Amino acid sequence: MEDDRDTLRILVATDCHLGYMEKDEIRRFDSFEAFEEICSLAKQKEVDFVLLGGDLFHENKPSRSTLVKTIEILRRYCLNDLPVKFQVVSDQTVNFPNRFGHVNYEDPHFNVGLPVFTIHGNHDDPAGVDNLSAIDILSACNLVNYFGKMDLGGSGVGQIAVHPVLVKKGTTTVALYGLGNIRDERLNRMFQTPHSVQWMRPESQEGLSVSDWFNILVLHQNRIKTNPKSAINEHFLPRFLDFVVWGHEHECLIDPQEVPGMGFHITQPGSSVATSLIDGEAKPKHVLLLEIKGNQYRPNKIPLMTVRPFEYAEVVLKDEADVDPNDQASVLEHLDKIVRNLIEKSSQPAASRSEAKLPLVRIKVDYSGFSTINPQRFGQKYVGKVANPQDILIFSKAAKKRQTTTGENIDESEKLRPEELNQQTIEALVAENNLKMEILPVDDLDIALHDFVSKDDKTAFYACLQRNLDETRKKLNSEAEKFKIEEEDIIVKVGECMQERVKEISLRSKGDTGLASSTQNLQDTIRGKSVAAESSLNTFSDDEDTRELLLGTRSTRSTAGFTRPSKDATGAARGGASKRGSGKGSLKQTTLTFSQSRSSAAIRSEEVDSSSDEDAANEVNEVVENSDPEDSFPQSGRKRPAPRGRGRVTRNYGAVKRR
């Protein structure tokens, strides 16, 4: 591998968590110093590019200070006159689905000497109506190449196609697959649903066969199997892979490990900054220098020297001979002795570090049979000696071991992860209260609630509603081209479509594999005999949403340059092309404002009541609401004139006249 012309050199790192503890006076720069060291190592080792495995940012909406520091570091190390010695030979508009659609070093207006390729993690994943991530900001600045961003689309299991970035340097060819973070439960179901995840293989080219490509996958998911449904099993991944970079797990397991029976190796670089003071984070932090030539690779782990030292210990008080349960002073003296030893231990290898830093110290204390101690008061004496004096101690009790059906004893404390505690999902609330979701799917609401709370996404619920409305009007559009729908039936059809989607998604979540797709089932339902609506349509916030309810567009996109594996080729376009989307034309514009003979006021909501799922509704109560209570339309009496400037639906569906 001495020939540099054919050797591709990649520096691999994951979970930089830029901006972590940015308001802490001692630890605010830790994440940036580690990231700058990573970029400095890339420059020193003369790598071809840097590969990041997600969670570049700690917050979904990083602060201005964090964004400025990140851009400064990338600009300092990535923009230079050094030549880029590899080529991207795949369809870049598919790999980088942004406005520019090409790798950043090919932009003639920028001198990019160190390309950076990154996916998103669970901390900096896309959110909002426009589905944008903080990494999109760096991508728009032409500082990083953001790939692995999937459009799941709609509800239910969903379907994705993973296209590789094809990199070529001399005779070495690498297919780089990226899969940004997807909710573990959903991705787990997708892997177990046939043809939901399609891996696109490179086409055979002149002098190159599919087997000549070295296949790398970088992903960001749970790997620890505390709950099989909330983690991704390595055996879900395709066997043609050669190397897997696994992000999200912070424990540094940098040495590649072979997965039995799968034929590929997995490296877990871990985080570059300690965000959880647990045993796994106390291991030395490393990055990986990966050298690839042909179909062989050589890993070289490089320790990070700017990382703040972290010492961890566990103490069981009842097992200590010099501790008296009735004498708290003896407990304090024993814990003080342990802390002093850890501080002294952390200062020993300081000569190899760039500069001396206050260490992080964490002691997990099993206080069974003892009384607790105030951690803040205990840490006051270590201010200026450790970086975390307020939380040196964490108390726990020995968990009872329960016996499984197989006779294996499982420690309850090992079953829980910090991020899984004190979390309640909408699915659990609905199940506990025996509720029935009739308008919006439970899975969509659960995702919207998570985005609203965890990512401070104020538009999460609006995006959830808008996405369901978009799918509903697509169904109506497909039927409008075949059947004549009277204006009186529009609301009923909307209720039917949305209710069928909820039923279908609930069946999918229970593992019903008999449902091929929600689109086909909805079409079959509407083509059959008309069923009266059984649910209430949500109230729209303004007339614009109502006016655009039945407005939609269809698009057809095609991607070339790849062929699917034979086992996943069902439904794929032949000849190396994959097409997504179908249909022609666009949905005709209309409104939900009825003619004067019925009601000239704009409809804000339409409530349709039903007694049960089995009975067709016999009565349809139409309620016309306005923003002012005193202007509400009476149930009987004279009719109000229609507001000026509003469109009215004529008898010919799809034609709108404005007066």
**What residue ranges do the domains of the chain occupy?**
7-303, 310-349+356-396, 422-505
CATH code of the region 310-349+356-396: 3.30.110.110
CB 642 within 8 A of CB 556: no
- CA torsion through residues 587, 592, 593, 597, sign: positive
CATH, domain range 7-303: 3.60.21.10
87-88 and 116-118 beta bridge pairing: unpaired
Residue 547, H or E segment: helix 543-547
**Hey, which of 65-74, 496-505, 533-542 has the most confident mean pLDDT?**
65-74
What is the amino acid identity at position 116? V
At residue 641, the 3 state secondary structure works out as: coil
Q: How far apart are CA 364 and CA 281, in angstroms?
A: 14
Query: What does the block give as tokens for 53?
Result: 């495995």
Q: Which pLDDT value is given to residue 536?
A: 36
Predicted model pTM: 0.65
- Looking at residue 187, its amino acid is L
Q: Which residues are within 8 A (CB) of 254 and not within 5 positions of it... i.e. 6 or more apart?
A: 267, 268, 269, 270, 286, 287, 288, 299, 301
pLDDT band at 475 (very low <50, low <70, confident <90, very high): confident
DSSP 337-348: HHHHHHHHHHHG
DSSP annotation of 107 reads -
Tokens representing residue 538 in the block: 């949500």
Q: Is the dihedral of CA 498, 503, 504, 509 positive or negative?
A: positive
Q: How far apart are CA 286 and CA 302, in angstroms?
A: 5
The contacts of residue 600 (CB under 8 Å, 6+ apart) are 593, 594, 639, 640, 641, 642, 643
> How far apart (Å, rounded) are the C-alpha atoms in residues 32 and 68?
11
Lookup: tokens for 54:
């997600």
Is-catalytic flag, 123? Answer: yes
Question: Contact 472/522 with Cβ under 8 angstroms?
Answer: no
Q: How confident is the model at residue 131 (pLDDT cuts 50, 70, 90)?
A: confident
pLDDT confidence of residue 414: 41
Distance CA 71, CA 385 (A): 33
Q: pLDDT digits over 337-391, tens only?
A: 999 999 998 887 554 555 788 999 999 999 888 888 888 899 999 999 999 999 9
172 versus 558: which is more confidently predicted? 172
Residue 331: how many CB atoms within 10 A of its CB? 22
Instruction: Write out pLDDT tens, residues 23-35.
Output: 999 999 999 999 9
Catalytic residue among 17, 58, 123, 286: 123
CA gap 361, 252 in Å, rounded: 18
Exposed, middle or buried by CB within 10 Å (0-12, 13-18, 19+), for 258? exposed
399-428 pLDDT, tens digit per residue, is: 665 554 445 555 444 444 444 444 555 556
